[in-house]
Amino acid sequence: MDKAQKILLVDDDKFLLDMYALKFSKNGYEVNTAQGTEEALRVIRNGFDPDILLVDIVMPGMDGIEFISVLRKEGLVKKAVIVMLTNQGLPDDIARAKALNVDGYIIKATTVPSEVFAEVEKIYAGRKK
């Protein structure tokens, strides 16, 4: 990597945020975390422009899908690779995410952090081609 890739992790679970932040920062990423979508919007509107956005769906207030649709409407993070990281594996949740052109969809319950990291790297590399 020429410069550190910037990633924004958005989840309401602080333990998971810290765990994934550690995983990505140890692998050379510049990591920013947001505990919820309101905080994530604030971070992005204040100028943080991530290369990768890792977003949970189920969060208090605005859920991850609504959050992505706000980003799309406002034309924010246009170049970011967006990956949903969630326990929501229902076909309609996946369909809602795909309708917003997310780049990937990972089910938390079935993946350990190293697998999440590898999958995000794969999705990002595929998108950069």
* Inside any domain, residue 106: yes
Mean pLDDT of the chain: 93
* Inside any domain, residue 119: yes
Question: Does the pLDDT of residue 1 top 60, yes or no?
Answer: no
Range of the domain at 80: 6-128
Instruction: Give the C-alpha separation, 94 to 90, whole Å.
Output: 6
CATH number of the domain within which 30 lies: 3.40.50.2300
Q: How many domains does the chain have?
A: 1
pLDDT at 129: 63
Question: Does the pLDDT of residue 2 top 60, yes or no?
Answer: no
* Inside any domain, residue 52: yes
* Inside any domain, residue 45: yes
pTM (2 d.p.): 0.93
Which amino acid is located at 7 in the chain?
I
Element (H, E) at 53: strand 52-55
User: How many C-alpha atoms does 18 have within 13 Å on its Cβ side?
Assistant: 3
Region 82-93: mean pLDDT is: 91
* Inside any domain, residue 1: no
Element (H, E) at 45: helix 37-45
Region 89-100: mean pLDDT is: 90
Concatenating the DSSP letter of every residue in 115-127 gives: HHHHHHHHHHHHH
Which residue's entry shows tokens 């997310």? Answer: 102
* Inside any domain, residue 89: yes
pLDDT at 4: 85
Which amino acid is located at 45 in the chain?
R
Question: Does the pLDDT of residue 103 top 50, yes or no?
Answer: yes
pLDDT at 109: 87
Region 12-39: mean pLDDT is: 96
Region 22-46: mean pLDDT is: 97
pLDDT in tens, 53-70: 999 999 999 999 999 999
